[in-house]
Amino acid sequence: MIVDKQGRQFRNLRVSLTAACNYACTYCVPNGQRLQPAAHELGGDELLKAVALLVSAGGINKLRITGGEPLLSPKFDVFAAGLADLKLDDIAITTNGQLIERKREALLGSAIKRANISLDTLDAQRFSEIARGGDLATVLRGIDLLQDAGWKLKVNMVPLRSANADQIVPLLEYCMERDIELRYIELMNMGHLRTGNGFAKDFFGMEDILQLIGKSYEYSRADAPFDSTSVRYKVPGHGHFGIIANESAPFCSTCTRLRLASNGDIYGCLSNSNHHSMKHLIELPEHEALPQLQALLGNALQDKQDLSFRGEVTVMKFIGG
């Protein structure tokens, strides 16, 4: 077992299937250009092998598929179909939801049973302005489809002071009516936000979010798993919501996340651009690959922050949000 001096281990693996995305969200990319696959991305089978090695070497028991936009990638079908063999306790996906209907068969036939759908507004016009792509009604139909299939869903919203703060309560009501947990993700100071004034202008933190919700609903703190990134709240009689408060209530000291980028690089921390390539290990026999991978994982674990998120120039879509 690989454990650091703060007692942290890798348990949760996030796999970025591709850096490509069909959105160009204002807070993720600076210039409105759709994202392309990264150079030298691994194929679906190679990513499955990499995950199998990480499961054997590192004690991983939970996996989340992300990106870029995972449903945009032609690898998705192969990757999703191979997951059942990996003996994981929990497999989930983070998606912008635009392609759920088109990928219905691959999704519903896979071992994935939970999804987080990113949705920053219920206003169709504002939706196009923030995502710079996609269609709100299609996402909402995708949410209904997965719920009807019995999937457990969360919705992720990034509140932005200048663009969607007025959607904080409407989105909460939309989610509570459907028994979906809404999670507000505090804006992270990443990529182009670090170099301009975008972060300072748009950051809308936990205190502001709670104050706004408090005008319409009573809420109280609720339990969350020890390594949860989210501070959870209960709205009596209505449901739960959470805030991923990377700035206001950092969760680095209990972080169990490891990221595998689509090019085979592993990242121990979202707030650290250090990375370690495991691409060369995929073709090795397991008895040779595992010790080398364990050494890489030990180094990646040291990349974690002691206390709090510092931000990073790395863009989320490369290493998987």
| 119 versus 301: smaller Cβ distance to ligand SAM | 119
- Candidates 80-88, 91-99, 104-112, 235-243: pick the segment binding ligand SAM (CB under 6 A): 91-99
Q: Is 27 among the residues that bind ligand SAM (CB under 6 A)?
A: yes
Given 35, 48, 172, 187, the residue binding ligand SAM (CB under 6 A): 187
* Least distance between ligand SAM and beta carbon 187 (Å): 5
49 HSE (CA, 13 A, CB side): 17
C-alpha distances (whole Å) from 288 to each of 95, 247, 278 are 35, 41, 13
Sheet holding 231-235, edge to edge: 220-221, 231-235, 239-244, 181-185, 152-157, 114-118, 90-95, 62-66, 12-16, 257-260, 265-267, 276-277
Q: Which is nearer to ligand SAM, 44 or 191 (CB)?
A: 191
Of 57 and 185, which CB lies nearer to ligand SAM in the complex structure? 185
Site string for ligand SAM, 224-243 (x = CB under 6 A): --------------------
Number of residues lying near ligand SAM (CB under 6 A) = 20
Q: Identify which of residues 136 and 293 has a Cβ nearer to ligand SAM in the complex.
A: 136
Q: Which stretch binds ligand SAM (CB under 6 A): 6-14, 20-28, 268-276, 277-285?
A: 20-28
Minimum CB distance to ligand SAM smaller for 21 or for 281: 21
- Which residue number, 50 or 158, has a Cβ lying nearer to ligand SAM? 158
CB 243 within 8 A of CB 209: yes
Stretch that binds ligand SAM, among 42-50, 136-144, 181-189, 217-225 (CB under 6 A): 181-189
Window of 90-98, 107-115, 159-167, 168-176 that interacts with ligand SAM by CB under 6 A: 90-98
Alpha carbon 186 to its chain centroid, in Å, reads 13
Helix extents (H) in the chain: 44-58, 76-82, 104-108, 124-131, 136-148, 168-177, 198-202, 206-214, 286-302, 316-319
Among 18, 118, 256, 263, binds ligand SAM (CB under 6 A): 118
* CB of residue 96 to ligand SAM, shortest distance in Å: 4
* 53, 83, 136, 158: residue in contact with ligand SAM (rule CB under 6 A): 158
Torsion angle of alpha carbons 27, 62, 301, 183, nearest 10°?
30
The letter for the amino acid at 22 is N
- What six digits make up the tokens of 161? 């002071």
98 binds ligand SAM (CB under 6 A): no
DSSP character at residue 45? H
Q: Which amino acid, 214?
A: G
Q: Is 255 in the site for ligand SAM (CB under 6 A)?
A: no
Query: Which residue number is nearest to ligand SAM in terms of Cβ?
Result: 321
Nearest to 168 by CA among 122, 127, 136: 122
- From candidates 21, 91, 100, 258, binder to ligand SAM by CB under 6 A: 21
DSSP string, 163-219: TTGGGHHHHHHHHHHTT-EEEEEPPP-BGGGGTSSHHHHHB--HHHHHHHHHTT---
Q: Residue 219: CB partners within 8 Å, gap ≥ 6? A: 210, 213, 233, 234, 235, 236, 241
- Choose between 170 and 291: whose C-beta lies nearer to ligand SAM: 170
Task: Kindly list the residues in this chain that would bind ligand SAM in the complex (CB under 6 A).
Answer: 21, 27-28, 66-67, 69, 94-96, 118, 156, 158, 185, 187-188, 190, 193, 316-317, 321
